Structure 1
Amino acid sequence: MEKYSLDDAQRHNGPISMELLSDEAGENRQFRVMVIDDNDIELKLYANGLAKHFTMSFARTTEKAWELLNRAPLPDAIILDILMPDEDGLQFCERLRENQYTSNIPIIFMSSLTGSNIKAQAFQLGGADFVVKPPIIEELVARINRHAAQYRKTKRLEALIFIDPLTHLPNSAKFDEVLKQEWSRCARYWHHLSLLLVRLEDMQWFKKEYGKDEYYAMTASIADALSGIGARPGDLFASLDDDCFGLLLSDCSTSGAKIKANQIINTFNQPNFVVNQEFGDHKIECTIAVAVAAPAGGGNAVQLYQAADNLLFKAKKEHHKGIVELGHIMGVDDLDAN
């Protein structure tokens, strides 16, 4: 979620939009907090009471909140009203918990409902806290600080474990974890799941010819250029072993996977792309294996990865570069096809 400032037109020609709000001192805020509430009076209460302590953003609907959450950086805590007009807070909490990027953000539920059942539901769905309206601002600030601090600490630890230090992309351990999570989620909702394995060709020659430092710099540059290919919520682009990247596309079938694969090929073919500098007779290219599954039809995440990896192995054996496809959808056409 980005920080937003009000331009002159907003300051002088109309009311402040509560969807987006920040102040000039926002850079000094310790934590970012998103408030999701459809009541203007309560939004103003949060704006006046919390903006002194945090960098704030606001959304009147869960769809607007979802749009904001797809912008970086993400908030350190979310204040979520349970009674919302388009999608209640409990349902939206489920959606947040199923997304790899928002699954661990602490959610503080706000509600005038005080029954034990509603509180139990809130915590069962992954809520970090429950505050009865109207909140005592000083107490709410303390709760936010506690939950956000723990979230930041957890994120720092995860970065040490799950981020590749060279490319700053998620590493293979994180990729395996998300692959299993997305397989289960797609099976539950009857969605397709696509996997692209992107192998860089001739990189070992490049390392031998130009040295490790240039090799590392080239790998990092390629990773940076390709990282924007998987830009939808739920997509994951990760750095795997042996000059290979993985792109996981949730809720994506064959046609969408082919589009992404061709985007990668087109990137490599751009004249100004880093691999198209002068390197003698050699040119760094890529081979992309595309495998698509319908998890609800059976199988498991390991089989999907193995299918794509087998395609890469076969392509290397046959000296084939470019895009290679499985040719069927696992779980639909023929689960046992190779």
Structure 2
Amino acid sequence: MTGSAHAHAGEGLLADPRDRPRLLLVDDLAANIQVLYRIFAEDHEVFMATSGEQALALCDRDQLPDLILLDVEMPGLDGLEVCRRLKANPATRDIPIIFVTAQTDALDETRALEAGGVDFISKPVNPAVVRARVKTHLTMKAQSDLLKAIVFIDGLTGIANRRRFDEAIQTEWRSCRRGGLPLTLFMIDIDHFKQYNDRYGHQEGDACLRRVATAVRLQLGRPHDLAARYGGEEFVCLLPECDLEAGRVKAEEVCAAVEALAIPHAGSATAAVVTVSVGVASAFPQDGSGAEILVAAADAALYQAKSSGRNRVCFKPAA
């Protein structure tokens, strides 16, 4: 595989979302990847990896693949282990994985499906068959994504809703507890939002909420970070594997990004434009404690930020 192919893979997953489905092809033999590339390049955004390690790195980016075609037998991390790791990660567990292999016995197929694969294709691939199967699984994923959007997306702002956040914080708490990793939470409140609504009207208030939500979401660069509307003019950000200091820095960026929108707010006692107050809390989840301590600490930090003059970040470790 050439260096340019590797570069294209990394750049593509960081690019803006495309209309064409994104496929990740993983095989240690460049010739095998080229066969699949020729089949899909015209109608898909195609990215390539020649090792399990590189495949995992490409899936730790902002724009994830919509489907992965994954070789089973590879040096180092084989396809089965790559699949298991992707399925264990909340950010990548819903990506459909089709195994492509020269091994065709029933035991190999069973192992592939048990690892989390959705399908199993034998080499040499039949172009018509592999295209049909990829199309089927992409359609199923699109339908699943739509259903999740209906359930978990806030209708006004387009970011995650409270229900999605409540589920995510429990999942990430357990995951960070198992890995001995920190979990950080922001609670964000738009300063003097009632006065904004009173002065400009609820239609402009809704537009303000949408712009602030987008600004907050765009500050979170990792696929497993979550921005959600908590209720009213409050938002939350959940950052797994992020400690208090890194969280504080990111929260300052969120605060600055909202102020940089320069949305006029003549009714604010804090600034001439819309601003936010942010409470940051971080914890290393432990057995015997729950995510509610993180929420309580972030809420207390938010109260401190508002009491100290607003348009600022306050932070504290969770008890």
TM-score range, shorter chain: 0.7 to 0.9
- Where does the alignment leave 5 or more consecutive residues of structure 2 unmatched? none
Q: TM-score, normalised by structure 2?
A: 0.84
Partner residue of 2:252 out of 239, 251, 262: 262
Identity of aligned residues (%): 30
- How does 1:228-307 map onto structure 2 within 5 Å? 228-269=218-259, 272-275=260-263, 277=264, 279=266, 282=269, 283=271, 284-307=274-297
Contact 1:290 1:325 in 2 (8 A): yes
Question: Is 2:72 aligned against 1:85?
Answer: no
Q: Say how many residue pairs are matched.
A: 308
Cα displacement (A) at 1:241:
0.4
- How does 1:1-338 map onto structure 2 within 5 Å? 17-19=4-6, 20=8, 31-52=21-42, 54-69=44-59, 73-114=63-104, 116-269=106-259, 272-275=260-263, 277=264, 279=266, 282=269, 283=271, 284-313=274-303, 318=307, 321=310, 322-326=312-316, 328=317, 330=318, 337=319
SS at match of 1:231: coil
Cα displacement (A) at 1:268:
4.5
Cα displacement (A) at 1:55:
3.7
Measure, in 1, the Cα distance between the counterparts of 2:225 and 2:63.
Answer: 16
Measure, in 2, the Cα distance between the counterparts of 1:79 and 1:133.
Answer: 12
Measure, in 2, the Cα distance between the counterparts of 1:239 and 1:147.
Answer: 31
Gap change, CA 1:255 and 1:310, over 3 Å in 2: closer
Report the equivalent of 1:9. Answer: none
SS at match of 2:177: helix
SS at match of 1:247: strand
Q: TM-score, normalised by structure 1?
A: 0.80
Measure, in 1, the Cα distance between the counterparts of 2:186 and 2:287.
Answer: 20
Measure, in 2, the Cα distance between the counterparts of 1:278 and 1:206.
Answer: 6
Q: Deviations over 1:44-97 (max 9, x none)?
A: 111223335544222223444345445565433210112233422222223322
- Where does the alignment leave 5 or more consecutive residues of structure 1 unmatched? 1-14, 331-336
- AA in 1 matched with 2:289: G
Measure, in 1, the Cα distance between the counterparts of 2:304 and 2:20.
Answer: 51
Deviates more, 1:58-67 or 1:122-131: 58-67
SS at match of 2:98: strand
